[in-house]
A = this chain, B = another copy of it.
Amino acid sequence: MTQQAGNMAGQKVQRQTGVALWRQIADRIRTSINHGDFDDTGMVPPETVLALQFGVNRHTIRSALAALAQEGIVRAVQGRGTLIERKERLSFPISKRTRFSQGIGDQVRETRSVLLAATEEAASAELARQLKIKTGTRLVRLETLGQADNRPVSRATNWFPADRFGAIAEVYRTTGSITKAFRELGVPDYVRVVTEITATHADEGDLADLQLSPGAIVLITQALNTDLDNVPVQYSVSRFAADRVRFTIEN
């Protein structure tokens, strides 16, 4: 709080950083919308007011609002103001039993997971170390897209040992759930052993799959799941749109 919220206009924008003012301002306004700062009116402050608050020209504000309109977040109405069309920020619990759909199930109407691609490959040294197998072991690799209310939230690359889960692609395609696929393949339950979190700028794949605006931030989790016998069953790298999610760690 205090440090990041509410006082949207408190912090000045940064010039000559390689990031255009209109983009910085668009990001800040989007964050404020998601934080509920304008919920009382349902509208963004007038352009002239924003220009004064951010210390920039009104045209620069208009560029920022145009970008947000392009994303479908706001809609300008001549004579009235700029209306807020949509806001979202999901809270993702990370715990021993982290599961995509269950975790955010009470925050959205519908969650879905789409299989983008399924291939088989040999384990790299890094993957072998994580999954505690030998380098070169066959792995099934699934590229998936997590959706909440038909809006993309995360894109993930998942690796499974092929000997146990060679058929997981097909099972997943029908069930649309890792948990259910595991169950059908003889893994009744699994636990999250470790999660690593980093952040970076969105790459081209993020922009396309997550429908992000360029320059956006993605949160990256690298996670290992094991079955109840502590045998690694899944290693996954997931990329989340940073302005759509927050992670919560309960101990």
Contact = CB atoms under 8 A, between A and B. Distances in A.
Copies in the complex: 2
A50 B24 CA distance: 27
B242 A19 contact: no
A197 B248 CA distance: 6
Contacts of A205: 3, 11
A201 interface: yes
Could you tell me the dominant secondary structure of chain A's interface residues? mixed
Contacts of A22: 18
Given A23-B17, A23-B18, A196 B247 contact: yes
A220 B5 CA distance: 12
A194 interface: yes
Contacts of A23: 17-19
Interface of A: 1-4, 11-12, 14, 16-20, 22-24, 26-27, 31, 67, 91, 94-96, 124, 126-127, 157, 191-201, 203-205, 207, 213-215, 217, 219-220, 222, 237, 239, 242, 245-251
